[in-house]
Amino acid sequence: MSNHRFTVYESPLGPLTLTGDGAALTGLWFPSRGPAHDDADHRPEDFAAAIDQLEGYFAGARRAFDLPLRPRGTPFAHRVWAALRRIPYGQTASYGALAQRLAGDQRGAWVSPRAVGAANATNPISIIVPCHRVIGSDGSLTGYGGGLQRKRALLDLEAAGDGAQRAARAGGRCSRDGAGAREMVRLRGGVSRAAGAWSSPK
């Protein structure tokens, strides 16, 4: 048995493969992506907390994840992935906005939006490190490792959850019914207009 452990979570968007090293999550992959696995390394008990938080996310009850993560990548990729995690739930950012944020973090040194896009594409922990919140400067969805239908569904889910929380604060009611949550994330066309755009601080 190696230190490369995995399990498969049957999510509303299809099976998601979670990988870890026994102490932290190292990957979350859509079908046909990610590394190969040995059946001897199937350790579902290692991923109970991650699956519980994913269930809450898909139910619309969780807006952020609190899990130990250990993705593998270059120092620049890690900076990009950290910036992804600062995009608020229910909002989106362009590659240019992320580049501006990173440039601000290093006191004005120019950062290429193309380099940001390349690092975004190598993110090994989908959903939890929310690369689905990055869109083109013209508002187009651009690419996504899980497919554009799943990207639409994730953005729709977050837009619906964000709107429901605003309604709840205003005195409305928000159902946490599991069947309703799964209906929210069915693969459908079009991103909800409730999704907002995140802009980097000046």
Residues 26-80 pLDDT 10s? 999 999 888 888 899 999 999 999 999 999 999 999 999 999 999 999 999 999 9
Give the closest residue to 187 by CA, choosing from 150, 159, 158.
150
* Ordered domains of the chain (ranges, CATH): 5-58 (3.30.160), 75-197 (1.10.10.10)
**Angstrom distances, CA of residue 57 to CA of 33, 39, 54, 77, 122:** 22, 28, 5, 25, 23
* Amino acid 33: pLDDT: 85
What band does 174 get if pLDDT is binned at 50, 70 and 90?
very low
The whole-number average pLDDT for the span 125-145 is 95
- Pairing type for strands 5-11 and 25-29 reads unpaired
What tokens does 105 get?
């973090």
The residue ranking higher by pLDDT, 168 or 189, is 168
Report d(CA 175, CA 181) in Å as an integer: 9
Ranked by mean pLDDT, which of 109-113, 124-128, 192-196 comes out on top? 124-128
Q: Which residues are catalytic?
A: 131
Give the closest residue to 138 by CA, choosing from 94, 191, 82, 107.
94
Report d(CA 30, CA 14) in Å as an integer: 8
- In the sheet with 25-29, reading across from the earlier edge strand, the strands are 5-11, 14-20, 25-29
* Amino acid 52: pLDDT: 98
- The length of the chain is 202
pLDDT above 60 for 164: no
The whole-number average pLDDT for the span 172-179 is 41
pLDDT above 90 for 104: no
The residue ranking higher by pLDDT, 190 or 165, is 165
